[in-house]
Amino acid sequence: MRVVILISGRGSNMQALLDAGLPVEFACVISNRPDAKGLEIAAAHGVPTVVLNHRDYADRPGFDTALAAEIDAFAPELVILAGFMRVLSDAFVLHYERRLINIHPALLPAFPGLDTHQRALAAGVKLHGCTVHFVTPEVDSGPILAQAAVPVLPNDTQHTLAARVLRQEHRLFPQAVRWCAEGRVTWGEDGRVHVRDSLDAADSALVAPLS
């Protein structure tokens, strides 16, 4: 499976993917920011990099058109948003329908958008986490592929909670990409995503706080 990764910053989720020994070909890493630290990590892994600065374009459609052309030059079967901090146009998202995945730092559909950890603390939830999902035009609302949950501790700040969630992101994202590469991801008639041959978890539960 040929994969293109889009980043905007430090690239920690990208690095987790590159280090995971996945059965994929990382065709390119593309950043919309020339100062993204993740570009150095990709280059160190021998992955080609491209910078497409969004500030060089007059509007979002212009940038998205150029970005799609750059991606399509590598003919990827999967496009991964790994900390790509741009809201993408509907036309772009639909062009990569069922081929575009993202990781979000919350248990969707709870807390879409920004400031997820602070909002989770304010809401008093006992479980928080991250979600890998396919991208659709409505932000953070696409079909869910996988989730990982962590407990919210009484003394948590948004920073300690974010760090705990990030550790799970680095585990969950490579696993989800592996399922895609192995052809285990299927789509139901209702538009939901299923993973074939996954473990039966009917009797398992995540409980927080522990008694």
Q: Encode 40-62: b = buried (16+ Cβ within 10 Å), e = exposed.
A: ebbeeeebebbebebeebeeeee
Whether 104 is a known active-site residue: answer: yes
- Selecting among 54, 104, 128, 133, the annotated active-site residue is 104
152 CB neighbour count, 10 Å cutoff = 22
E-strand spans in the chain?
2-7, 25-31, 49-51, 78-81, 100-104, 127-134, 144-151, 185-187, 193-195
Residues annotated as catalytic (active site), given as ranges: 104
